Amino acid sequence: MADLANGYTIKTKNFRKIVVGKKLGEGGQGAVYQVNYDGKQKALKWYSGKKLSNPDKFYQNLENNIKKGKPTNAFLWPEDITEKDGEAFGYIMDLRTNEYVDFTKILLGKKKEHAFASITAMCNASLQIIDGFGELHRKGYSYQDLNDGNFFINTKTGEVLICDNDNVSEAGKNSGIAGKARYMAPEIVAKGKMPDKYTDRFSLAVVLFLLWTKNHPLEGKAAFPVCMDTKHEKKIYGESPVFIFDPNDDSNRPVQGLNKGAIANWPFLPVYLQEQFQKAFGKEALQDPARRIQELEWLRTFIRLRSEIYKCPCGEVYFADPVNLNPCPSCKKQNKFAFYLKFGRYNVAVHQRTKLYACHTEKDSDDFQTLTGEVAAKGSDFELKNISSKNWTVTDGGNTSSVVPNAVIMLKKDITINFGNAQAEII
Amino acid sequence: MALTDAVEIPRRTMVLFFVVDTSGSMTGSKLGAVNTAIEEVIPAIKEISDENADAQIKIAALEFSSGAHWITQNGPMELDQFHWNDLQAAGVTDLGEACKALNEKLSTKAFMKEATGSFAPAIFLLSDGEPTDNWQSGLGILKQNNWFKTAVKVAVAIGDDANKDVLAEFTGTKEAVLEVHNAAALKKMIKFVSVRASQVASKSSNAGAADSGDEQKQAELNANLKELKEDLAASPDNDQEDW
């Protein structure tokens, strides 16, 4: 495709003017340029139209997505579309800023700054990815072409940008993309089925597994034939996929020296997360799309995971279950917590870094971003500060007292805190 | 090792083969353009490799004139270790010898022995003349080679004397043969093909492809080549006929 010249102007459907700047990159379907859009710096994705199987349908789909709007702020969503310039056209989206690292680069692990700064950032990234796809599906879309090239992550905070939203389609529709075999569900790879919400769920599980182990879930000893041609790809990712940690099938276990990330990181994951992955890539879920793990289930697993992050006095950071105590993997010490907060769905250990979110303190909430409470250590005691906008009520034996926003409660065993419509016991 | 540590995901290898005609007739601006273009495109291929979690790209290069000679004698090289030394032109056009040399190295006992496996390679042939040896015999042997069968192949016919039919025999299709008559277009072509062939061949194949999925990578590349041909046809530089 001929490049768009610097300074070239295009009109959008909304009669806004685009002035083309420098080319930022090129993908399989089109190229991305930095542009001036009505006085603002934006990105333009430009298609020659020739590489699309059905350019008219593709154009209509983009228009429709622009109208419906982005599912969450994590999406770099199409905002406006150009008039057609011959067969060519493009759409406008936000520019990606430099603090976001390509997920591919995180997987390649070549540079220190491409690694996550903390386990909390890894949890936040997982939560944002899951939440993004959950909202996308709830809005009736499917993403269709999920792979390592679609995500950019701020490795310090875990904030995520989901890009390449041009193949996102409404349920029952398909943009014509078939995605990369490594990321696509077995029924697409083996049988040529079209992508949908269920195949997205497989891809989501792949991305999460990659993020936590730096290994593909189906790439163990059976996945490295000398000639990796399409026939073998079909077999590994489509016809007979085997999870590398399948409890009942050891034919594709990780190999020492090759699957370094899987071997080092898997034992570090709590059993409930390992089991979730075993379910996500178990024979049943691989074969039956309806048995795949839904976003809400992943979301709650990772909310729990984040709340179990604990820094051992030895310096190691690990996942500490406040109820069934597990030792620090480094110094082997069994850390005990003075208390934990027992909510309906979660148990949250009390220590100097404990944070509560709306998903804890609001009934039926899965909001993992809005902070509502923070623990601080006072000598050997702990106090919990109400940073929500609600009045809390503490019941201690027969006495009740109110905790207004910004007030603190001294935590002690056997008290009950009512957060408005959810409550927790201190145990 | 901690969960947050940087660790490289296991990835496959994809070898990009340059097969360059260095017969006497390539002297001057033809080989000059080839040397410059390959040298200049290496950083772009390195970038594709560095940003690809499916496969890393390695380079192998073979020159043929009176006989065939591997520039990368010890096997495919990683891009940060590979430096292009200008080739010199002399001798005849032994394409058959080049095919035999390729066949010998396209083997798990030779160039294709990566522990993490290799994707089908990309093979890029550049020639300006009628073969002078028994090319049918050499190509016949090569066509039995499974790596060659699944490889993504492109050939460039440089100038009027190149035999496009022979090159189409090599690539398996006329669509993968490009024709060029001046140095500027040749340079553009080499860069475009090297980049696109690397991109297409080094990624996990498209899911849902027909059974002969390796043909699908070739088809994807052919679609790119078609676009390049149209692009060049529309460009004013293309009217210039150096060769």
**Partner residue opposite A227 with nearest CB, options B51, B146, B231:** B146
Q: Answer whether residue A267 shows pLDDT above 80.
A: yes
Kindly state whether B240 is in contact with chain A, defined as any CB-CB distance less than 8 angstroms.
no
Of B108, B112, B205, the CB nearest to A233: B205
Which of A69-73, A100-104, A169-173, A350-354 comes out lowest in average pLDDT? A169-173
Taking residues B48-72, report their average pLDDT. 96
Give the CA diameter of chain B: 61
**Per-residue confidence band for A113, with pLDDT thresholds at 50, 70 and 90:** confident
What pLDDT score does A179 carry?
Answer: 80
Q: Is A358 helix (H, G, I), strand (E, B) or coil?
A: helix
Q: Residues 14..43 of B with a Cβ closer than 8 Å to A: which?
A: none
Q: Is A229 within 8 Å of B120 when comparing Cβ atoms?
A: yes
Nearest to B112 among A48, A50, A226 (CB): A226
pLDDT (0 to 100) of residue A423:
96
Q: Please say whether the structural domain A9-93 has been given the CATH code 3.30.200.20.
A: yes
Chain A contact set for B234 (CB, 8 A)? 2
A248-256 mean pLDDT? 97
> With bands split at pLDDT 50, 70 and 90, how would you rate the model's confidence at A243?
very high
Query: Which tokens go with A390?
Result: 């609600």
For the segment A113-141, the average pLDDT, to the nearest whole number, is: 95
| pLDDT(B212) > 70 | no
Measure the CA–CA gap between A342 and B58, rounded to whole angstroms: 55
A2, A102, A227 ranked by CB distance to B147: nearest: A227
Residue B211 has pLDDT above 60, yes or no: no
Q: Name every chain B residue with its beta carbon within 8 A of the beta carbon of A167.
A: none
CA end-to-end distance (rounded Å), chain B: 60
Residue B237 has pLDDT above 90, yes or no: no
Name the token pair of A262. Answer: 């899987």
Report the share of chain B in percent with pLDDT over 90: 83
Closest chain B residue to A264 measured between Cα atoms? B1
SS3 string of A223-275? HCCCEECHHHHHHHHHHCCCCCCCCCCCCCCCCCCCCHHHHHHHHHCCHHHHH
The rounded distance, in Å, linking the Cα atoms of A390 and A353 is 22
The predicted structure's pLDDT at residue A350: 97
Closest chain A CA to residue B149 = A229
Q: Do A233 and B204 touch (CB under 8 A)?
A: yes
Between B19 and B232, the more confident residue is: B19
Q: Which of the residue ranges A38-52, A120-134, A308-322, B157-171 would you say has the lowest mean pLDDT?
A: A38-52
What are B58's strand-pairing partners?
B15, B78
Phi/psi at A82 (5° precision): -85, 165
Per DSSP, the residues of A87-143 read TBEEEEEPPPPTTEEEHHHHHHT-SGGGS-S-HHHHHHHHHHHHHHHHHHHHTTEE-
The mean of the pLDDT values for chain A is 93
Under the banding of pLDDT at 50, 70 and 90, the label for residue B243 is: confident
* pLDDT tens digits along A46-55: 998 777 778 8
Provide the residue count of chain B.
243
CATH code of the region A100-299: 1.10.510.10
Confidence band for A172, pLDDT divided at 50, 70 and 90: confident
What pLDDT score does A1 carry?
52
Mark out the alpha helices in A160-216 (DSSP H runs): 186-191, 197-213
Task: Name the pLDDT band for B15 (thresholds 50, 70, 90).
Answer: very high
Domain boundaries, chain A: 9-93, 100-299, 338-426
- Going along chain B from its start, the domains and CATH numbers come out as 17-205+213-236 (3.40.50.410)
What mean pLDDT is predicted for residues B117-132?
A: 95
Give strand pairing partners of B179: B157
Distance from CA of A255 to the nearest CA of B (A): 11
CA angle A62, A63, A65 (to 5 degrees): 65
Provide the 8-state DSSP code for A12.
B
Per-residue pLDDT averaged across B162-188, rounded? 95
Find the mean pLDDT for residues B193-207.
89
pTM of the prediction?
A: 0.92
State the average pLDDT over residues A105-123. 94
pLDDT-based confidence at A229, cuts 50/70/90?
confident
- pLDDT value of position B75: 96
Q: Is 2.60.200.20 the CATH classification of the domain at A338-426?
A: yes
Q: How far is CA A358 from CA A350, A391, A427, in A?
A: 17, 14, 20
Give A172 or A284, the one with higher predicted confidence.
A284
Contact by Cβ (8 Å): A367, A383: no
Residue A28's pLDDT is 67
Q: Residue B83: exposed, middle, or buried by beta-carbon count in 10 A (0-12, 13-18, 19+)?
A: exposed
Please list every residue in chain B whose beta carbon sits closer than 8 Å to the beta carbon of residue A226: 108, 112-114, 117-118
pLDDT band at B210 (very low <50, low <70, confident <90, very high): low
Q: Which residues contact B211 (CB under 8 A, 6 or more apart)?
A: none
- Helix, strand or coil, per DSSP, at residue B25: helix
* pLDDT higher than threshold 80 for residue A409: yes
The widest CA-to-CA distance across chain A, in whole angstroms, is: 78
What's the pLDDT band for B235 if we cut at 50, 70, 90? confident
The answer to whether residue B62 scores a pLDDT higher than 80 is yes
Percent of chain A topping pLDDT 90? 82
pLDDT of A178 over the 90 cut: no
Q: Which two tokens stand for residue B42?
A: 């290496």
Radius of gyration of chain A (CA): 24
| Least confident interval from A31-45, A352-366, B102-116, B216-230 | B216-230
Q: Beta partners for A377? A: A382
Residue A10, CA atoms < 13 Å, CB-side half-sphere = 26
Q: How many helices (H) and strands (E) does chain A have?
A: 11, 24
pLDDT (average), residues A173-197: 85
For the residues B138-146, what does the mean pLDDT come to? 97
Q: At what angle do helices B183-201 and B29-50 cross, to 10 degrees?
A: 30
- Contact, A243 vs A236, CB < 8 A? no
Contact B49/A at CB under 8 A: no
DSSP notation for A43-90: EEEEE-STTSS-HHHHHHHHHHHHHH--SSTTB----EEBPPBTTBEE
* Residue in A110, A119, A227 closest to B3 by CB: A119
Q: What is the pLDDT of residues A353-393, one digit of tens each?
A: 999 999 999 999 999 999 999 999 999 999 999 999 999 99
Q: Do A227 and B117 touch (CB under 8 A)?
A: yes
Please determine, for residue A332, whether its predicted confidence score (pLDDT) is greater than 70.
Answer: yes
Is B233 near chain A, with CB under 8 Å?
A: no
Q: Best interface-test mutation with A: which of B1, B5, B9, B196 has the largest number of A CBs within 10 A?
A: B9
SS3 B106: coil
- pLDDT-based confidence at B209, cuts 50/70/90? low
**pLDDT at position A48, please?**
82
A123 pLDDT band, cuts 50/70/90, is: very high
A25 has pLDDT over 90: no
The pLDDT value given to residue A95: 94
| Alpha helix segments (H runs only) across A308-378 | 358-361
The β-bridge relationship of strands A371-378 and A381-386 is antiparallel
